[in-house]
Structure 1
Amino acid sequence: MRYSIITINYNNKEGLRHTIESVISQTSQDYEYIIIDGGSTDGSVDVIKEFADHVNYWVSEKDKGVYNAMNKGIAQAKGEYLVFMNSGDRFHSPDVLDLMADHHEYIICGKVLKGDSTIPSGHHKPTISLVDLMRGSLPHQAMFIKREIMARHPYDENYKILSDWKFCIHALVYDNCTFRNSDVIVADYDTSGISTNSNGLLAKERKFILQEMFPPRVIKDYQRLAPVDDELLDLSVLLTQTVGARRLAKRFIKLLLRLTHKK
């Protein structure tokens, strides 16, 4: 079995219905479907029962939060790749699973459409670096993750928003897992979720995770690079690839930082 599709839900009956319909409409049938409900009281369980013939495993019980629910789904999964499509999120088209079938890296990341936007969001470089990860996170709705690496690094349930970001740092930096960027639009992303409406919690969790995973000297570099425009940063990195240009690159970066701080 290639895919384990995991949906978590709590009191989002209509969003859950939309998600389920997008899953069962996939042209590929090489998947199992797992739904973890947090003890909903709004009729969500009735929706699950309505589609029970298409669901391989489901449970409705109280949990300790989003990542606890996602870890419950991981524990039940048997597929080669895990796909998290939480209630309210939808596969962008019925052929998404077929379009992703030829990739074999540990982590494959496609694109998402947020809300009413028609411009795909996500990672737009062929590979991914530490700087990329420290400046932003990958959309979990568009990620296909090998189950074995998720079993090694389950989501840290101490965080409410950014445990998936912490997982990416573990897998892609510390474990050096293979990665592929895909232009396939995987999901239509529901922007009403907790990560979109975090009321400052996102910045706090990012700070705590950085402090947990990196020494102060690395965090200092991150703070220096964070304001620098992506294209200018890429150019500075390109300059450092030749020994004779390193001194020029250092001056170039210092100049950029001065200009940035003056804005």
Structure 2
Amino acid sequence: MRYSIITINYNNKEGLEHTIKSVINQTFKNYEYIIIDGGSTDGSVEIIKQYTDHINYWISEKDKGVYNAMNKGVAQAKGDYLVFMNSGDCFHSPNVLSSVTNYKEDIICGKVLKGNSTTPSGHHKSSITLVDLMRGSLPHQAMLIKRGLMVKHPYDENYKILSDWKFCIQALVFDNCTFRNSDVVVADYDINGISTNSNGLLTKEREIILKELFPQRIIEDYELLTPVDDELLDQSLLLTQTVGARRLVKGFTSLILQFTRKK
């Protein structure tokens, strides 16, 4: 088993060094390390040069965005699995890779810790369905993806935030690839990234991707799942599996929230 760890970076030298250290401290050493820098001017290149003995490939040049940089990394990768650990994010512990080496599924997904949280977040079911993906995204930093899948479905560079979500739908739904959910905490996630500061772009991209991939009748079902309040609705959806019941739960939840907000 060989991993290709890909780090993309732009003007984040402190975060980059933090990420590099978490990579080279992994106890499992059968990996290659690839860094794609977007032409940084803040000293990031000097940081990369300090660690060249641990880096198999790196480049610093202007790119067309996050997913263009990731695709550049994929093009250089030769490992069995790809791991995207962007600058500022880091492996949760030195034993992450050694903890997952016996898994063989096409996509393996662990957990992340966001910011200062001590509660792991991510997917919490052994399997994954279209409804799961319609309602949320897998934590990108915690995914290990077979390289062949990424070659088949490179990240769509037309999107700034949700191309990895589109990839998951293509791979897990349309290709029906194998999936394993793991309790291993893979990454500590930097919450200052673009996906957590999207200023409404996330919702817009989600709508465009849905229209691109699905007929309108499927999108109408998806709209029934749109949460009024994520946490409350997540709890209530555990109690039901039918679309009709979800509609009832959503309406009931809306009434509860309206009542509590007036008080």
Interval containing the TM-score (normalised by the shorter chain): over 0.9
- Report if the CA contact (8 A) 1:109-1:142 is conserved: yes
2:124 aligned partner: 124
2:155 aligned partner: 155
Instruction: Name the CA distance, whole Å, in 2 between partners of 1:54 and 1:182.
Output: 28
- Report if the CA contact (8 A) 2:224-2:246 is conserved: no
Is 2:101 aligned against 1:108? no
Deviation at 1:233, TM superposition (A): 2.9
The superposition leaves residues 75-109 of structure 1 with CA deviations (integer Å, 9 ceiling, x where unpaired) of 00000000000000000000000001011000000
- Report if the CA contact (8 A) 2:112-2:142 is conserved: yes
Deviation at 1:235, TM superposition (A): 3.4
Deviation at 1:234, TM superposition (A): 4.0
Deviation at 1:231, TM superposition (A): 4.4
1:86 aligned partner: 86
2:249 aligned partner: 256
1:246 aligned partner: none
Instruction: Name the CA distance, whole Å, in 2 between partners of 1:221 and 1:138.
Output: 20
Deviates more, 1:64-73 or 1:206-215: 206-215
1:117-196 superposed matches below 5 A: 117-196=117-196
Aligned residues: 252
Deviation at 1:254, TM superposition (A): 4.5
1:62 aligned partner: 62
The superposition leaves residues 205-254 of structure 1 with CA deviations (integer Å, 9 ceiling, x where unpaired) of 111111111111111111112228234434332xx6xxxxxxxx84x445
- Report if the CA contact (8 A) 1:141-1:186 is conserved: yes
1:40 aligned partner: 40
Report sequence identity in percent. 73
Is 2:229 aligned against 1:236? no
Instruction: Name the CA distance, whole Å, in 1 between partners of 2:175 and 2:207.
Output: 22
The superposition leaves residues 23-61 of structure 1 with CA deviations (integer Å, 9 ceiling, x where unpaired) of 000000010000000000111000000000000000000
Instruction: Name the CA distance, whole Å, in 2 between partners of 1:57 and 1:253.
Output: 49
2:223 aligned partner: 223
| 1:30 aligned partner, one-letter code | N
- In structure 2, list runs of 5 or more residues that go unmatched: 258-263
- In structure 1, list runs of 5 or more residues that go unmatched: 241-248
- Report if the CA contact (8 A) 2:12-2:44 is conserved: yes
Deviates more, 1:218-227 or 1:156-165: 218-227
Instruction: Name the CA distance, whole Å, in 2 between partners of 1:78 and 1:257.
Output: 46
- Report if the CA contact (8 A) 2:90-2:188 is conserved: yes
Instruction: Name the CA distance, whole Å, in 2 between partners of 1:192 and 1:261.
Output: 31
Deviates more, 1:50-59 or 1:252-261: 252-261
Instruction: Name the CA distance, whole Å, in 2 between partners of 1:254 and 1:64.
Output: 41
2:203 aligned partner: 203
